[in-house]
A and B are shown apart, each in its own frame.
Chain A
Amino acid sequence: AQTVTQSQPEMSVQEAETVTLSCTYDTSESDYYLFWYKQPPSRQMILVIRQEAYKQQNATENRFSVNFQKAAKSFSLKISDSQLGDAAMYFCAYRRNNAGNNRKLIWGLGTSLAVNP
């Protein structure tokens, strides 16, 4: 069965600095998707970035980028120029690219990120 592990329950970063959140996963599949979601205090889950496993190029969305290491099954999130609004719980998630219609996500337990002014 697939699993997702986030080994850092809590992280903190100074405003304007860079922080990296770790995520590892376990799967026997070769074709899958990986996601980072952000959950601010409002608790609405917001997609930050996604990565297709077949793409070697790391995904980037403005200040957010990933370091995808397929062989190591690692998918870390880098937040550059951290802002106070980045403070949130961050979840890593996995989904296999199956032929069926179901789109179940496997979730990590999350990393709580604090941004210090």
Chain B
Amino acid sequence: SQTIHQWPATLVQPVGSPLSLECTVEGTSNPNLYWYRQAAGRGLQLLFYSVGIGQISSEVPQNLSASRPQDRQFILSSKKLLLSDSGFYLCAWSVSGVNTEAFFGQGTRLTVV
């Protein structure tokens, strides 16, 4: 069966520090991968999606970047965090080429102080 792992679960970082959140999927190949952000009490905002290794599409211009160095690995990064980067970050995957739903990781709660 397929599983998705996202870490860390919580993170407190000072303003100006770098960020690296990692997400890996097991049990499938060539998945579509997504990074979402959810501000407190709000819906989900799609940040990045990837349909293959090295293929990243950005939905919202911002202080963050994403990379997909391996087929089932998706990384969310920042060189210098801002206070406004605080939020709940969710990684998700869906089956490539098939109309199915997205499956989510457990999320990372990021607090920038």
Residues on A close to B: CB < 8 A? Answer: 33, 35, 42-47, 50, 52, 91, 95, 97, 101-105, 107-110
Chain B contact residue count (CB 8 A cutoff): 27
The number of A-B residue pairs with CB atoms under 8 Å apart is: 55
B-side interface residues toward A, CB under 8 Å?
A: 32, 34, 38, 42-44, 46, 49, 51, 57, 59, 88, 90, 92, 94, 96-97, 99-107, 109
Given contacts A44-B107, A45-B90, contact A105 B102 (CB under 8 A): yes
Are A101 and B43 touching (Cβ within 8 A)?
no
Interface residues of chain A: helix, strand, loop or mixed (majority): loop
Chain B, Cβ-Cβ closest to A50: B101
A-B contact pairs, 10 of them (CB 8 A): A33-B101, A43-B106, A43-B109, A50-B101, A52-B99, A91-B44, A102-B51, A104-B34, A105-B46, A105-B102
Find out whether the CB atom of B101 lies under 8 angstroms from the CB atom of A35: yes
User: What residue of chain A has the Cβ atom nearest to residue B51's Cβ?
Assistant: A101
A115 to B106, CA, bound (A): 23
Smallest CB–CB gap between B46 and chain A, Å?
A: 6
The answer to whether A109 and B96 touch across the interface, beta carbons within 8 angstroms, is no
